[in-house]
Protein backbone atom coordinates (compact mmCIF):
# COMPACT_ATOMS: atom_id res chain seq x y z
CA UNK A 1 0.00 0.00 0.00
CA UNK A 2 1.48 3.35 -1.02
CA UNK A 3 0.40 6.92 -0.28
CA UNK A 4 1.53 9.99 -2.19
CA UNK A 5 1.46 13.16 -0.08
CA UNK A 6 1.64 16.52 -1.87
CA UNK A 7 1.85 19.94 -0.24
CA UNK A 8 1.75 23.25 -2.05
CA UNK A 9 1.26 26.00 0.54
CA UNK A 10 3.93 28.70 0.79
CA UNK A 11 3.16 29.31 4.47
CA UNK A 12 5.38 26.58 5.95
CA UNK A 13 4.57 25.67 9.54
CA UNK A 14 1.76 28.29 9.64
CA UNK A 15 -0.07 26.54 6.80
CA UNK A 16 -3.53 25.16 7.46
CA UNK A 17 -3.55 22.84 4.43
CA UNK A 18 -0.18 21.40 5.44
CA UNK A 19 -1.39 20.66 8.96
CA UNK A 20 -4.55 19.01 7.56
CA UNK A 21 -2.72 16.99 4.91
CA UNK A 22 -0.22 15.68 7.47
CA UNK A 23 -3.11 14.71 9.77
CA UNK A 24 -4.73 12.82 6.89
CA UNK A 25 -1.45 11.00 6.28
CA UNK A 26 -1.13 10.21 10.01
CA UNK A 27 -4.70 8.89 9.99
CA UNK A 28 -3.85 6.51 7.14
CA UNK A 29 -0.68 5.42 8.91
CA UNK A 30 -2.76 4.62 12.00
CA UNK A 31 -5.33 2.71 9.91
CA UNK A 32 -2.72 0.84 7.89
CA UNK A 33 0.58 0.49 9.74
CA UNK A 34 3.38 -0.12 7.26
CA UNK A 35 1.82 2.01 4.52
CA UNK A 36 4.61 3.55 2.42
CA UNK A 37 4.45 7.34 2.26
CA UNK A 38 6.10 9.37 -0.51
CA UNK A 39 6.07 13.12 0.18
CA UNK A 40 6.55 15.98 -2.25
CA UNK A 41 6.81 19.56 -1.06
CA UNK A 42 5.88 21.26 -4.31
CA UNK A 43 6.33 24.75 -2.87
CA UNK A 44 9.90 24.03 -1.74
CA UNK A 45 10.86 22.18 -4.91
CA UNK A 46 8.53 23.11 -7.78
CA UNK A 47 8.65 21.96 -11.37
CA UNK A 48 9.21 24.64 -13.99
CA UNK A 49 6.37 26.28 -15.86
CA UNK A 50 5.77 24.48 -19.13
CA UNK A 51 7.75 25.88 -22.05
CA UNK A 52 8.45 25.11 -25.70
CA UNK A 53 11.87 23.76 -24.67
CA UNK A 54 10.27 21.45 -22.11
CA UNK A 55 7.68 20.18 -24.57
CA UNK A 56 10.32 19.43 -27.20
CA UNK A 57 12.46 17.55 -24.67
CA UNK A 58 9.41 15.70 -23.37
CA UNK A 59 8.63 14.65 -26.93
CA UNK A 60 12.12 13.19 -27.31
CA UNK A 61 14.22 16.01 -28.80
CA UNK A 62 17.55 15.78 -26.93
CA UNK A 63 18.17 18.91 -24.89
CA UNK A 64 21.53 20.39 -23.89
CA UNK A 65 19.84 22.39 -21.15
CA UNK A 66 20.62 20.84 -17.76
CA UNK A 67 17.69 22.68 -16.15
CA UNK A 68 15.23 21.25 -18.66
CA UNK A 69 16.73 17.77 -18.33
CA UNK A 70 16.51 17.89 -14.52
CA UNK A 71 12.91 19.05 -14.84
CA UNK A 72 12.10 16.11 -17.12
CA UNK A 73 13.54 13.72 -14.55
CA UNK A 74 11.40 15.38 -11.88
CA UNK A 75 8.26 15.13 -14.04
CA UNK A 76 8.91 11.44 -14.72
CA UNK A 77 9.28 10.85 -10.97
CA UNK A 78 5.97 12.67 -10.37
CA UNK A 79 4.30 10.33 -12.85
CA UNK A 80 5.85 7.15 -11.42
CA UNK A 81 4.89 8.15 -7.87
CA UNK A 82 1.32 8.88 -8.89
CA UNK A 83 0.85 5.66 -10.84
CA UNK A 84 2.29 3.63 -7.93
CA UNK A 85 0.10 5.32 -5.32
CA UNK A 86 -3.05 3.75 -3.91
CA UNK A 87 -3.91 6.89 -1.96
CA UNK A 88 -3.28 10.49 -2.96
CA UNK A 89 -3.30 13.27 -0.33
CA UNK A 90 -3.21 16.78 -1.82
CA UNK A 91 -2.60 19.81 0.38
CA UNK A 92 -4.32 22.54 -1.62
CA UNK A 93 -4.81 26.08 -0.35
CA UNK A 94 -6.86 28.48 -2.43
CA UNK A 95 -4.70 31.15 -4.05
CA UNK A 96 -6.54 33.73 -6.12
CA UNK A 97 -9.59 31.48 -6.41
CA UNK A 98 -7.56 28.54 -7.71
CA UNK A 99 -4.64 26.31 -6.70
CA UNK A 100 -0.99 27.32 -6.11
CA UNK A 101 1.09 27.34 -9.29
CA UNK A 102 3.52 24.58 -8.15
CA UNK A 103 0.52 22.26 -7.79
CA UNK A 104 -0.57 23.26 -11.29
CA UNK A 105 2.98 22.52 -12.51
CA UNK A 106 2.69 19.04 -10.94
CA UNK A 107 -0.62 18.55 -12.79
CA UNK A 108 1.05 19.69 -16.01
CA UNK A 109 3.50 16.80 -15.60
CA UNK A 110 1.03 14.06 -14.72
CA UNK A 111 -1.91 14.85 -17.03
CA UNK A 112 -0.42 13.03 -20.01
CA UNK A 113 -2.42 11.37 -22.79
CA UNK A 114 -1.69 7.65 -22.96
CA UNK A 115 -0.44 7.56 -19.37
CA UNK A 116 -3.15 8.93 -17.11
CA UNK A 117 -5.98 9.43 -19.62
CA UNK A 118 -6.76 8.73 -23.23
CA UNK A 119 -9.27 9.90 -25.79
CA UNK A 120 -11.51 7.26 -27.31
CA UNK A 121 -14.20 7.39 -30.01
CA UNK A 122 -16.73 7.97 -27.25
CA UNK A 123 -14.78 10.58 -25.30
CA UNK A 124 -12.03 10.77 -22.70
CA UNK A 125 -11.20 7.89 -20.40
CA UNK A 126 -9.27 8.20 -17.14
CA UNK A 127 -6.56 5.59 -16.75
CA UNK A 128 -5.96 5.92 -12.99
CA UNK A 129 -8.16 3.21 -11.55
CA UNK A 130 -8.65 2.05 -7.97
CA UNK A 131 -7.13 5.07 -6.29
CA UNK A 132 -8.54 7.17 -3.49
CA UNK A 133 -7.80 10.87 -3.16
CA UNK A 134 -8.05 13.25 -0.22
CA UNK A 135 -7.92 17.00 -0.75
CA UNK A 136 -6.83 19.07 2.27
CA UNK A 137 -8.47 22.35 1.31
CA UNK A 138 -7.94 25.68 3.08
CA UNK A 139 -9.21 29.09 2.06
CA UNK A 140 -9.62 32.50 3.55
CA UNK A 141 -13.26 33.02 2.64
CA UNK A 142 -16.33 30.78 2.25
CA UNK A 143 -17.27 29.25 -1.09
CA UNK A 144 -19.68 26.48 -0.20
CA UNK A 145 -22.50 26.05 -2.69
CA UNK A 146 -25.16 28.68 -2.14
CA UNK A 147 -22.72 31.28 -0.80
CA UNK A 148 -22.35 34.50 -2.85
CA UNK A 149 -18.73 33.64 -3.70
CA UNK A 150 -19.44 30.10 -4.97
CA UNK A 151 -18.98 31.15 -8.62
CA UNK A 152 -15.35 32.10 -7.88
CA UNK A 153 -14.51 28.63 -6.56
CA UNK A 154 -11.92 27.11 -8.92
CA UNK A 155 -9.81 25.25 -6.38
CA UNK A 156 -11.67 22.19 -5.06
CA UNK A 157 -13.89 22.03 -8.16
CA UNK A 158 -10.83 22.11 -10.41
CA UNK A 159 -9.07 19.34 -8.50
CA UNK A 160 -12.20 17.17 -8.32
CA UNK A 161 -12.80 17.67 -12.05
CA UNK A 162 -9.19 16.88 -12.89
CA UNK A 163 -9.14 13.75 -10.73
CA UNK A 164 -12.40 12.52 -12.30
CA UNK A 165 -10.93 13.12 -15.77
CA UNK A 166 -7.97 10.93 -14.78
CA UNK A 167 -10.26 8.21 -13.41
CA UNK A 168 -10.06 9.00 -9.69
CA UNK A 169 -13.64 9.30 -8.51
CA UNK A 170 -13.28 8.29 -4.87
CA UNK A 171 -12.38 11.77 -3.61
CA UNK A 172 -12.82 13.14 -0.09
CA UNK A 173 -12.49 16.86 0.53
CA UNK A 174 -11.40 17.89 4.03
CA UNK A 175 -12.08 21.60 4.14
CA UNK A 176 -11.16 24.46 6.47
CA UNK A 177 -12.63 27.65 5.06
CA UNK A 178 -13.26 31.11 6.48
CA UNK A 179 -9.66 31.06 7.73
CA UNK A 180 -9.46 34.85 7.30
CA UNK A 181 -12.60 35.54 9.35
CA UNK A 182 -10.71 35.83 12.65
CA UNK A 183 -8.97 33.53 15.08
CA UNK A 184 -12.18 32.01 16.45
CA UNK A 185 -13.55 31.19 13.00
CA UNK A 186 -10.19 29.77 11.97
CA UNK A 187 -9.97 27.52 15.03
CA UNK A 188 -13.54 26.31 14.55
CA UNK A 189 -12.92 25.54 10.85
CA UNK A 190 -9.73 23.63 11.63
CA UNK A 191 -11.41 21.74 14.49
CA UNK A 192 -14.24 20.66 12.14
CA UNK A 193 -11.73 19.52 9.55
CA UNK A 194 -9.79 17.52 12.17
CA UNK A 195 -13.03 15.81 13.24
CA UNK A 196 -13.62 14.82 9.62
CA UNK A 197 -10.09 13.43 9.41
CA UNK A 198 -10.56 11.41 12.59
CA UNK A 199 -13.65 9.87 10.97
CA UNK A 200 -11.76 8.63 7.88
CA UNK A 201 -12.13 4.86 7.55
CA UNK A 202 -9.78 2.42 5.82
C1 LIG B 1 -1.23 34.29 -2.37
C2 LIG B 1 -2.51 34.04 -1.65
C3 LIG B 1 -3.70 34.13 -2.34
C4 LIG B 1 -4.89 33.88 -1.68
N5 LIG B 1 -6.06 33.93 -2.38
C6 LIG B 1 -7.22 33.64 -1.75
C7 LIG B 1 -8.45 33.65 -2.48
O8 LIG B 1 -8.52 33.88 -3.66
N9 LIG B 1 -9.58 33.35 -1.79
C10 LIG B 1 -9.57 33.05 -0.47
O11 LIG B 1 -10.63 32.76 0.09
N12 LIG B 1 -8.43 33.03 0.24
C13 LIG B 1 -7.26 33.31 -0.37
N14 LIG B 1 -6.09 33.29 0.33
C15 LIG B 1 -6.13 32.87 1.73
C16 LIG B 1 -5.73 31.41 1.85
O17 LIG B 1 -6.55 30.58 1.04
C18 LIG B 1 -5.82 30.97 3.29
O19 LIG B 1 -4.93 31.76 4.07
C20 LIG B 1 -5.47 29.51 3.45
O21 LIG B 1 -5.45 29.17 4.80
C22 LIG B 1 -4.11 29.24 2.82
O23 LIG B 1 -3.78 27.90 3.05
P24 LIG B 1 -2.44 27.57 3.84
O25 LIG B 1 -2.69 28.08 5.24
O26 LIG B 1 -2.31 26.12 3.76
O27 LIG B 1 -1.34 28.30 3.15
C28 LIG B 1 -4.88 33.54 -0.31
C29 LIG B 1 -3.67 33.47 0.38
C30 LIG B 1 -2.49 33.71 -0.28
C31 LIG B 1 -1.20 33.58 0.47
pLDDT for the residue numbered 147: 85
Residue 83 lies in domain: 2-198
Q: Who lines ligand 1 at CB under 6 A?
A: 9, 11, 15-18, 93-97, 138-141, 179-180
User: CATH number of the domain that 6 lies in?
Assistant: 3.40.50.360
Which of 10, 18, 95, 98 to mutate for ligand 1's pocket (most ligand atoms within 8 Å of CB)? 95
For residue 167, how far is its CA from the centre of ligand 1 (angstroms)? 28
Across residues 54-71, what is the average pLDDT? Answer: 93
Q: Are 72 and 58 in contact (CB under 8 A)?
A: yes
Q: How much of the chain, in percent, has pLDDT values that exceed 70? A: 100
Residue whose CA is closest, atom 23 of ligand 1?
A: 93
> If you average pLDDT over every residue of the chain, what do you get?
97
Domain count, the chain: 1
Q: pLDDT tens across 22-50, in order?
A: 999 999 999 999 999 999 999 999 999 99
Residue 185 has pLDDT above 90, yes or no: yes
Q: pLDDT tens across 123-160, in order?
A: 999 999 999 999 999 999 999 878 889 999 999 999 99
Q: Which atom of ligand 1 is nearest to the CA of 20?
A: 26
Q: What is the largest CA-CA distance in the chain?
A: 55
pLDDT for the residue numbered 171: 98
**Pairing state between β 123-126 and 132-139:** unpaired
Q: Which atom of ligand 1 is nearest to the CA of 10?
A: 27
User: Using only C-alpha atoms, what is the Rg of the chain?
Assistant: 17
Question: What is the residue-wise DSSP string for 62-127?
Answer: ----HHHHHHHHHHHHHHHHHHH-SEEEEEEE-BTTB--HHHHHHHHHH--BTTTEEEETTEEEE-
Residue 13 has pLDDT above 90, yes or no: yes
Across residues 110-123, what is the average pLDDT? Answer: 97
Amino acid sequence: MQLLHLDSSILGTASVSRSLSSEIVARHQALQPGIRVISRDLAADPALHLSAAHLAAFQGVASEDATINADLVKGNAYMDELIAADILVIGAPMYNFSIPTPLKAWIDRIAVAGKTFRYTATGPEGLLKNKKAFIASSRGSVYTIGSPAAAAEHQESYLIGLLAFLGVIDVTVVRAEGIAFGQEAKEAAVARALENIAAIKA
